[in-house]
């Protein structure tokens, strides 16, 4: 994967996925001199965790022939100030699936072992709630 990041001024960047041409912008957050009109770079990290978890869970669901539609997540990012960094990410995944307990365990193990989960610093607090609704 190759991406390019272009500074746009006013603490905004444009990020472009080279192969597809898809792009998104980031803004510095309100509490760090920015406009807060888009995801901040740290917002993208926190959101990427949930996206990665859902993606690998969907891969496992496909292998188990489970219809994985209507799954969603809410992400909460908490920052610390000294040093300024993400101190905690809370992920609440809603899974409106009627599946067996064994399948639930397999999906949760998949989510807990996504590449981003395995890449983040072990000091980062991660709270994950799987809500089987």
Distance of CA 8 to the CA centre of its chain: 24
**Region 60-81 average pLDDT:** 96
- The phi and psi torsions of 99 (rounded to 5 degrees) equal -135, 170
Note the pLDDT tens digit of each residue in 86-122.
999 999 999 998 999 999 999 999 999 999 999 999 9
The predicted-structure confidence for 17-55, as pLDDT tens digits, reads as follows: 999 999 999 999 998 999 999 999 999 999 999 999 999
Instruction: Please tell me the predicted confidence (pLDDT) of residue 105.
Output: 97
Cis bond before residue 83 (omega within 30° of 0): yes
Predicted TM-score (pTM) of this structure = 0.94
Q: What is the pLDDT of residue 86?
A: 97
**Pairing mode, strands 23-27 and 12-17:** antiparallel
β-strand pairing of 125-132 with 84-95: parallel
Considering the domain 40-132 in this protein, what is its CATH number? 3.30.300.20
């Amino acid at each position: 994967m190759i991406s390019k990041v272009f500074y746009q001024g006013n603490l905004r960047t444009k990020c472009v996925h080279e192969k597809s041409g898809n792009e998104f912008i980031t803004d510095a957050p309100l509490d760090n001199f920015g406009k807060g009109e888009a995801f901040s770079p740290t917002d993208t990290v926190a959101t990427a965790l949930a996206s990665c978890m859902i993606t690998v869970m969907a891969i496992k669901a496909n292998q188990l022939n489970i219809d994985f539609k209507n799954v969603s997540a809410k992400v909460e990012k908490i920052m610390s100030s000294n040093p300024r960094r993400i101190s905690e990410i809370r992920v609440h995944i809603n899974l409106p699936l009627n599946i067996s307990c064994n399948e639930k365990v397999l999906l949760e193990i998949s989510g807990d072992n996504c590449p981003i989960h395995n890449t983040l610093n072990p000091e980062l607090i991660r709270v994950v709630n799987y809500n089987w609704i």
